[in-house]
């Protein structure tokens, strides 16, 4: 399995969209979406300005079909940890994800960044969730990231920096790129792949990498993305994260979906220490219905109801 799944570029200057998939190994939809997009580009051979690059995240976990092997790769991109990791020799690293991460740092910092020096960099990090009901974008702590996320028409989640650290989006910020995350839907849903493909095409058009006429289903992609929001708010803010350790024996109560309304004191889950209730009113986000993961659930607050 190759880490760069595709690279389609022009000889001229222009924005570079780096799309990452499989940062979590049990989320193959993003890999399939990238394969489909690169297959279409190869077939049509459109002229582009800039480039589209597809990068696979956690190769070991993808092979194993697991979220991760030793550590969640999407929580490991903290500035201090990265500085220490850059000085390491890969063969001496004990954690599978540290070796994966070192490969990724080298790919970005001595490969892609050098090859595209002077180009504006954009990143799109593709994910799926174990729970049902809702596709959304996650904006990084940067006005431009929020602006780009909003243009997709699906619910935008801001304030990630208040609840999670060390994500790939944090890393893209460090590289001076503008990143957004896209949660397409449930892991097994076929529609998750279609939504991801739609987001990749729409982003490429918006960034001016590809001309509209080369994307025959563009309007279909756009209206499909707009229809995803349903009654969910346009913008929500992370306000609470319930952290989970493997020894907690965390068990989410069944039936919660993304953006379900929650009231303070409502029972949401159980653990070896007893019932877990919500500390605040808000909306449910990403309830954990899979064995691996360090986030039991998030509570978000509606910031804006309309686009």
Residues forming contacts to Zn ion in the complex (CB under 5 A) are 24, 127
- Shorter beta-carbon distance to Zn ion: residue 119 or 187: 187
Which of 8/155 has CB closer to Zn ion?
A: 155
Report the nearest approach of Zn ion to the CB of residue 188 (Å). Answer: 14
C-alpha–C-alpha distance, residues 170 and 141, integer Å: 8
Q: Which of 299, 298, 268, 263 is nearest to 281 (CA)?
A: 263
CB of 26 to Zn ion, least distance (A): 8
Cβ nearer to Zn ion, comparing 204 with 286 = 286
Which residues, in sequence order, are bridge partners of residue 261?
Answer: 283
**Closer to Zn ion by Cβ: residue 24 or 150:** 24
Helix (H, G, I), strand (E, B) or coil at 212: helix
Nearer to Zn ion, 75 or 119 (CB): 75
Report the nearest approach of Zn ion to the CB of residue 193 (Å): 15
d(CA 58, CA 101): 8
For residues 136-162, b (16+ Cβ closer than 10 Å) or e, as one string? Answer: bbbbbebeebbebbbebbbbbbbbbee
Q: What is the torsion angle, in degrees rounded to the nearest 10, for the CA atoms of residue 108, residue 110, residue 112 and residue 113?
A: 90
CA dihedral 127, 74, 34, 190 (to 10 degrees): -20
Of 126 and 209, CB closest to Zn ion: 126
Minimal distance in Å, beta carbon 125 to Zn ion?
8
- The DSSP letter of residue 286 is -
User: Smallest gap, in angstroms, from Cβ of residue 152 to Zn ion?
Assistant: 18
**3-state SS assignment for residue 87:** coil
CB 128 → Zn ion: shortest distance, Å?
Answer: 7
Note the residue count of the chain. Answer: 307
């Amino acid at each position: 399995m190759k880490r760069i799944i595709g690279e389609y570029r022009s000889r001229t200057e222009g924005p570079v969209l780096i799309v990452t998939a499989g940062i979590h190994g049990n989320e193959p939809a993003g890999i399939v979406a990238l394969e489909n997009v690169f297959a279409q580009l190869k077939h049509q051979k459109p002229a582009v300005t800039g480039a589209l690059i597809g990068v696979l995240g956690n190769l070991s976990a993808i092979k194993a079909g697991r979220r991760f092997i030793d550590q969640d790769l999407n929580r490991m991109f903290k500035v201090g940890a990265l500085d220490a990791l850059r000085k390491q020799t890969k063969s001496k690293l004990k954690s599978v994800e540290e070796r994966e991460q070192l490969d990724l740092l080298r790919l970005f910092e001595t490969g892609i960044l050098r090859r595209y020096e002077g180009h504006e960099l954009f990143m799109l990090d593709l994910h799926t969730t174990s729970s049902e009901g809702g596709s959304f974008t996650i904006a990084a702590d940067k006005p431009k990231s929020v602006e780009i996320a909003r243009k997709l028409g699906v619910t935008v989640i801001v304030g990630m920096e208040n609840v999670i650290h060390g994500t790939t989006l944090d890393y893209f910020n460090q590289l001076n790129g503008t990143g957004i995350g896209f949660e397409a839907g449930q892991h097994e849903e076929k529609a998750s792949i279609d939504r991801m493909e739609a987001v990749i095409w729409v982003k490429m058009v918006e960034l001016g990498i590809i001309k509209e006429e080369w994307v025959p289903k563009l309007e279909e992609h756009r209206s499909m993305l707009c229809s995803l929001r349903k009654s969910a708010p346009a913008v929500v803010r992370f306000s609470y994260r319930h952290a989970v350790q493997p020894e907690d024996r965390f068990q989410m109560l069944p039936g919660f979906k993304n953006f379900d309304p929650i009231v303070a004191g409502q029972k949401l889950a159980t653990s070896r220490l007893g019932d877990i209730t919500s500390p605040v009113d808000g909306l449910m986000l990403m309830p954990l219905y899979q064995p691996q993961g360090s986030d039991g659930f998030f509570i978000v607050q509606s910031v804006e109801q309309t686009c």
